[in-house]
């Protein structure tokens, strides 16, 4: 954002600043004119106007809003590369700002970030710029936020961190796009081209610069001039001096048309350098002389001194040593006006070199002597400055030492008072600690007693549970043994007797008359029916297929019986390796599977049954389901279902788990997991 716009808004909203007398109106005039000169790049003139505003403000005894003048001066010094002066003025401005001038504080913070970044403190510079970006965005001053983001990119660029620089420039362009600030994209695009130029991606650099030029308004001479200089710089790096000169000529023509002296001077100076590198020294001389005249008119001593040195080099190349020495003498005079001893010393050294090359050793010696005097003076100044800084540090340290001693005495006196108070409090504190310890011990023992009680109760419950489990195990195992014994006796005892009786009735049937024979036949049929029932009961109590062929064949027999005897479509699938289990485990699995099948026959009213047994290394997984009427597990349990309890008991004894997904009207579904 143009500083003129910022200051104008603040001046309109704060009429107390520059509206109290004719003097304050004049202060405002100098202040606004300085802002305009900053925009055109005439920083020395801007500084003169700012100084005039300061002087008038003091003469009128008006100290309102001095923070704006300090802020403006800080920005001018930043552009003049006087970074220490810039920092001090910006810090003073921030110290004068009240809570309402957030916008000015954000701008000062942005300029401080740029200063610290240029001085080499990259981290602090980036931190301050991030702070300013956040404040600008909160104020919805997106153009200023974009400017701060661009300065952040410059810090990374000068630190040769091109990826970070490009990221900052791209964020700047995105921010400008989102808020329709087309002119805010020009500066980051120019800086992106600088990155491409530095990394020797010249085609990308030219494309970016042409994009930036397309965003410039016709009367935006400053940006057009900067873009033209960058385009020419790319052509120079590619060695195409002719194209570079054409770009400069077009830019010079536009700048002259709009009387932009600053841009004309830079463009002609760069053109002169190209002509010099091409060996066209007369053309270079012409442009350097024209540039010199502009700097003299603007009283821009730093650039004038630089141009005079360049003229001396060109004259020396043309073997015009007299003119070269005249230029260097003028350069020294300008340096003296700036009180730049380093520039003066450099001027005398260059003159000495020219005299020495021409064989004028006396003049060369005199010039070298002057160079040494100024060099020694510079060293002495640095030494004095260093000693002064060290003395200042020593004085500050002594003052701090005195303060510390006074503080120590104060602390000592307070410490004595505190000791007395501490002794009296210490006894109370010890008493309280003893009470707390006693209470803690009592609480601990009460807690321990309760804990031991809980542990004992849990141990008793666990023992009862284990006892019940063992009891159930022995009951079921005894039950199975008894079943086996009864089945054996039914089959081998009563079954054999009934079969023998049937044979005897067959013998009697043939030897008696017809009436008795009919009675014998009926008796024989009843004996056969009883024998069949005995075999069924014996088979149910202990199927022979289980003992002879094992669990899997016995289970297959259950589901075949379902299919054949009950009219229920049964499907039984076994997956995995069929391994024999211990006899007790096979009997228990057979029993609860037999109970599941019986429940389906008796209660489910089902037409289909599906059972899948998946055998793994670690165990057996059984999924059993039918399409019957289903049941509610809670209500079934509440009725103390003997069948379900028997199933659950046997699965528990096998350390297995059963999950019942049945619901009324939705069929019966069991998922059983048994470890092997």
Residue whose tokens read 């960058």: 230
* Rounded Cα–Cα distance for residues 195 and 161 (Å): 10
pLDDT exceeds cutoff 90 at 29: no
* Confidence at 8, pLDDT banded by 50, 70, 90: very low
- DSSP-derived secondary structure letter, 184: G
Note the pLDDT of residue 460.
Answer: 65
Q: Which helix (H) or strand (E) holds 623?
A: strand 619-626
* Rounded Cα–Cα distance for residues 80 and 77 (Å): 5
Note the pLDDT of residue 152.
Answer: 92
Q: Which residue has the higher pLDDT, 628 or 645?
A: 628
* Confidence at 146, pLDDT banded by 50, 70, 90: very high
Q: Which residue has the higher pLDDT, 163 or 500?
A: 163
Closest CA to 610 of 659, 552, 668: 668
Asked if residue 321 lies in contact with residue 358, where contact means CB atoms within 8 angstroms, the answer is yes
* Rounded Cα–Cα distance for residues 129 and 132 (Å): 5
Note the pLDDT of residue 499.
Answer: 61
Asked if residue 676 lies in contact with residue 581, where contact means CB atoms within 8 angstroms, the answer is yes
Q: Which DSSP string corresponds to 510-553?
A: TTS-HHHHHHHHHHHHHHHHHHHHHHHHHHHHS-HHHHHH-HHH
Over residues 487-512, the mean pLDDT reads: 60
Q: What is the pLDDT of residues 319-340, one digit of tens each?
A: 888 888 898 888 888 888 888 8
Q: What's the whole-number average pLDDT of the chain?
A: 79
pLDDT exceeds cutoff 90 at 57: no
Size of the chain in residues: 676
Q: What is the pLDDT of residues 82-112, one digit of tens each?
A: 888 999 998 988 888 876 688 888 998 999 9
CATH fold for the domain made of 550-675: Heat Shock Protein 90 (3.30.565)
Q: What percent of the chain has pLDDT over 70?
A: 78
Q: What is the pLDDT of residues 335-393, one digit of tens each?
A: 888 888 888 888 888 888 888 888 888 888 888 888 888 888 887 877 787 777 677 76
Angle of helix 221-237 relative to helix 186-198, nearest 10 degrees, comes to 10
Q: Which are the contacts of 553, defined by CB distance < 8 A and separation ≥ 6?
A: 545, 546
pLDDT exceeds cutoff 70 at 302: yes
* Confidence at 19, pLDDT banded by 50, 70, 90: very low
* Rounded Cα–Cα distance for residues 636 and 661 (Å): 13
Q: Which helix (H) or strand (E) holds 614?
A: strand 608-615
Q: What percent of the chain has pLDDT over 90?
A: 14
Whether this model's pTM surpasses 0.75: no
Over residues 581-593, the mean pLDDT reads: 84
Going through 206-343 in order, the beta strands assigned E by DSSP cover none
Chain-centroid distance, C-alpha 259: 51
pLDDT exceeds cutoff 90 at 15: no
Helix (H, G, I), strand (E, B) or coil at 331: helix
What are 392's two structure tokens? 């200042």
Q: How far is CA 676 from CA 183, 190, 577, 656, 673, in A?
A: 79, 77, 13, 9, 10
* Rounded Cα–Cα distance for residues 302 and 324 (Å): 19
Closest CA to 49 of 66, 21, 26: 26
Interstrand relation of 668-675 and 657-660 (parallel, antiparallel or unpaired): antiparallel
Over residues 171-175, the mean pLDDT reads: 91
* Confidence at 587, pLDDT banded by 50, 70, 90: confident
Half-sphere exposure of 296 (CA within 13 A, CB side): 11
Angle of helix 301-317 relative to helix 261-277, nearest 10 degrees, comes to 20
Chain-centroid distance, C-alpha 159: 24
Q: What is the pLDDT of residues 207-240, one digit of tens each?
A: 998 898 888 887 777 788 888 888 888 888 888 8
Q: Which residue has the higher pLDDT, 191 or 258?
A: 191
Residue whose tokens read 């279902």: 641
Q: Domain coordinates of the chain in residue numbers?
A: 395-542, 550-675
Helix (H, G, I), strand (E, B) or coil at 61: coil
Q: Give the CA dihedral 276, 280, 283, 289, nearest 10 degrees.
A: 40
Closest CA to 37 of 331, 216, 278, 298: 298
Q: How far is CA 370 from CA 325, 328, 376, in A?
A: 15, 13, 10
């Amino acid at each position: 954002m143009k500083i003129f716009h910022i200051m104008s808004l603040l001046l309109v909203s704060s009429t107390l600043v520059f509206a109290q007398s004719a003097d304050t109106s004049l202060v405002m005039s100098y202040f606004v004119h300085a802002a305009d000169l900053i925009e055109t790049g005439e920083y020395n003139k801007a500084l003169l106007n700012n100084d005039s505003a300061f002087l008038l403000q003091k003469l009128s005894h008006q100290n309102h809003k001095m923070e704006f003048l300090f802020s403006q001066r800080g920005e001018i010094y930043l552009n003049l590369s006087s970074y220490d002066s810039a920092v001090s003025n910006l810090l003073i401005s921030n110290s004068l700002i009240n809570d309402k001038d957030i916008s000015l504080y954000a701008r000062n913070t942005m300029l401080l970030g740029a200063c610290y970044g240029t001085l080499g403190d990259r981290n602090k510079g980036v931190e301050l710029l991030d702070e300013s970006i956040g404040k600008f965005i909160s104020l919805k001053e997106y153009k200023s936020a974009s400017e701060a983001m661009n300065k952040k990119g410059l810090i990374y660029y000068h630190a040769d961190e091109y990826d970070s620089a490009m990221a900052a420039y791209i964020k700047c362009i995105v921010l400008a796009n989102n808020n329709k600030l087309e002119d805010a994209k020009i500066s980051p695009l120019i800086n992106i081209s600088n990155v491409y130029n530095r990394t020797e991606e010249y085609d990308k650099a030219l494309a970016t610069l042409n994009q930036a030029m397309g965003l410039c308004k016709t009367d935006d001479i400053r940006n057009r001039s900067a873009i033209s200089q960058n385009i020419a710089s790319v052509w120079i790096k590619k060695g195409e001096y002719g194209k570079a000169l054409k770009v400069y000529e077009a830019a010079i023509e536009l700048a002259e048309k709009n009387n932009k002296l600053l841009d004309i001077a830079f463009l002609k100076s760069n053109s002169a350098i190209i002509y010099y590198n091409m060996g066209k020294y007369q053309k270079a001389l012409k442009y350097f002389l024209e540039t010199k005249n502009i700097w003299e008119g603007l009283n821009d001593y730093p650039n004038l001194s630089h141009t005079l040195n360049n003229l001396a080099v060109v004259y020396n190349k043309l073997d015009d040593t007299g003119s070269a020495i005249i230029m260097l003498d003028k350069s020294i005079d300008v340096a003296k006006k700036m009180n730049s001893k380093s520039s003066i010393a450099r001027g005398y050294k260059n003159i000495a070199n020219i005299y020495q090359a021409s064989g004028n050793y006396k003049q060369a010696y005199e010039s070298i002597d002057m160079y040494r005097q100024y060099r020694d003076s510079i060293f002495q100044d640095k030494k004095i400055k260093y000693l002064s800084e060290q003395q200042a540090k020593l004085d500050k340290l002594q003052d701090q030492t005195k303060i510390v001693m006074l503080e120590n005495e104060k602390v000592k006196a307070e410490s004595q008072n505190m000791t007395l108070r501490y002794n009296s409090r210490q006894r109370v504190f010890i008493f309280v600690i003893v009470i707390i310890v006693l209470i803690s011990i009592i609480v601990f023992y009460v807690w321990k007693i309760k804990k031991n009680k809980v542990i004992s109760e849990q141990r008793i419950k666990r023992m009862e549970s284990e006892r019940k489990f063992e009891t159930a195990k022995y009951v079921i195992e005894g039950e199975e043994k008894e079943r086996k014994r009864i089945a054996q006796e039914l089959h081998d005892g009563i079954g054999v007797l009934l079969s023998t009786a049937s044979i005897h009735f067959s013998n009697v049937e043939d030897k008696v008359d017809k009436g008795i024979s009919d009675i014998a036949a009926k008796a024989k049929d009843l004996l056969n029916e009883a024998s069949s029932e005995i075999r069924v009961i014996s088979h149910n109590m202990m199927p022979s297929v289980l003992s002879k062929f094992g669990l899997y064949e016995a289970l297959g027999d259950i589901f075949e019986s379902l299919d054949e005897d009950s009219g229920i479509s049964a499907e039984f699938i076994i997956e995995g390796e069929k391994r024999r289990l211990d006899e007790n485990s096979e009997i228990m699995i057979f029993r609860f599977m037999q109970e599941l099948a019986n429940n389906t026959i008796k209660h489910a009213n089902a037409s289909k049954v599906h059972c899948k047994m998946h055998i793994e290394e670690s165990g057996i997984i059984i999924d059993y389901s039918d399409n019957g009427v289903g049941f509610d597990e809670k209500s079934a349990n509440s009725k103390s279902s003997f069948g379900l309890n028997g199933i659950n008991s046997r699965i528990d004894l096998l350390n297995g788990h059963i999950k019942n997904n049945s619901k009324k009207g939705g069929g019966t579904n069991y998922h059983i997991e048994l470890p092997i």
